[in-house]
Amino acid sequence: MTEFTTFAVHIPDADLEPDPLDPAQIVEGSPEVSGKVLWESEDGRRVRGIWQITPGVVTDTEADELFVVVSGRATIEVAGGPTVAVGPGDLCVLREGDRTTWTVHETLRKAYEITTR
């Protein structure tokens, strides 16, 4: 979607599409990722969507992102920075370029907005 329109989505029931991880990101377990882009700006610099990951441990390099956890639990360790625990109702902000390790304890589903420069 590129055209902005008013919409509502019931996040817990939204159908998501598989979004396979790069095997090099997987540290432990067999986590699976799925997601759905709900809106993207015409210039591609802002994206809003839903993302889900099953239990395991993965690494990532983050975008400038704000997200709210709808279900599940994870611990996110930022290299050289804080470690945060997130669960239902928590809002988290990640900085672009942060190198993170996600330990997903329970399948986590979040709604997010990513902004790129």
The pLDDT score that the predictor gives to residue 1 is 47
Q: What is the pTM of this model?
A: 0.93
39 belongs to a structural domain: yes
32-69 pLDDT per residue, tens: 999 999 999 999 999 999 999 999 999 999 999 999 99
* Total domains in the fold of the chain: 1
90 belongs to a structural domain: yes
Domain harbouring 72, CATH code: 2.60.120.10
51 belongs to a structural domain: yes
Amino acid, single-letter form, for residue 64: D
List alpha helices for the chain, DSSP H.
none
42 belongs to a structural domain: yes
Q: Which residues pair with 34 in a beta bridge?
A: 18, 52
1 belongs to a structural domain: no
**Is the pLDDT at 4 greater than 80, yes or no?**
no
8 belongs to a structural domain: no
6 belongs to a structural domain: no
Q: How confident is the model over 6-28, as a mean pLDDT?
A: 96
7 belongs to a structural domain: no
In a 10 Å sphere around its CB, with 0-12 CB exposed, 13-18 middle and 19+ buried, how is residue 7 labelled? exposed
Range of the domain at 26: 15-115
**Is the pLDDT at 3 greater than 80, yes or no?**
no
Average pLDDT over the chain, rounded to whole? 95
Q: Distance between CA 69 and CA 52 in Å, rounded? A: 10
